[in-house]
Amino acid sequence: MKKGLIAIAILLLLSSGLSADPWEKTLTFDLKLTQTAYSDSWKGGEAGNISWVSTLNGVFAKQVSPKFNNRTTLKLAFGQTHIQDKDTKDWDKPEKSTDQIDIENLSRLTLNSYVDPYFAVRLETQFLDASVDAVDRYFNPLLLTESVGGSRMIYKKDKNEILSRLGFAFKQTINSIIVDTAMEETDWDTRTDGGIESVTDVIYQFTENIDYIGKLTLYKALFFSDKDEVEGTPEEDYWKAVDVNWESTLNASVAKYITVSLYIQFLYDKQIDKKGRFKQTLGFGLAYKMF
């Protein structure tokens, strides 16, 4: 993990000063809020609720030199839902509804060939692991992915682009395991695996006020550090299944600081669940484009 973070820092330093070319950068903050309240005269068992989600999305790209391009993508999101007890009207403890930290640095050798070599480092985690109420675990679990291979810019016009890459990826999953809930004791569990990864990024602006961002990641593990632990069980080959992560975001600006966004994510990881996991968020709220 430390080596991967050091690699990110080195790449960011290289991209900051080796070229006079300007940064291509976007950074957008938005806050979506919904609130419902009922008077005491309502008798249908209704309960008030407040839901909020805040996101920060950014892309920082630079052609460091004629043969080296660097891009960092940032996605942060956090949200909670507060629900009122329908009988006592007291507000329950807020429940987390959205939590995401996703930072990726992609470096490409732009050789103007059919396939350009690339190296990427990606960190995925969350602000708060709320799976066990008695113990707060921050930034857990951590998934660090280092990948290397070939990339191709399938389509590029202005800021619109379709970039696809295929290569070998090495993953480390670092998880804080609860040893004693009463004493809040935890221990670290680290798992590693490696395999073939395919990533396709799409950025497309339909109009001045409507844009789309999509990412499709496919991963096929070839080795797994803990395969001996599941050998002989019904799950012994689950790690060999192809993992899928498809993210799709459609944003529409209806006014200067007002936006409507639709976020859809489909995940499939047989080691977690044999069924696919689907998430959809439709939001209307305030948005501020910093640059």
Count of the separate structural domains present in the chain: 1
Residue identified by tokens 């708060």 is: 128
- The first and second tokens of residue 288, run together, are 């501020």
Q: How many CB atoms lie within 10 A of CB 122?
A: 22
Please give the model's pTM, rounded to 2 decimal places.
Answer: 0.87
Provide the residue range defining the domain that includes 248.
2-289
Give the CATH number, domain containing residue 204: 2.40.230
Cα gap 108→148, rounded to integer Å? 10
List of the chain residues with pLDDT < 50: 1-2, 5-6, 8-10, 12-19
Task: Reply yes or no: is the peptide bond before residue 141 cis, omega within 30 of 0.
Answer: yes
The residue assigned the tokens 């329908």 is 86
pLDDT digits (tens, 9 = 90+) for 101-147: 999 999 999 998 899 999 999 999 999 998 887 788 999 999 999 99
Residues 34 and 48: beta-carbon distance below 8 Å: no
Q: Say how many C-beta atoms besides its own lie within 10 A of residue 226's C-beta.
A: 15
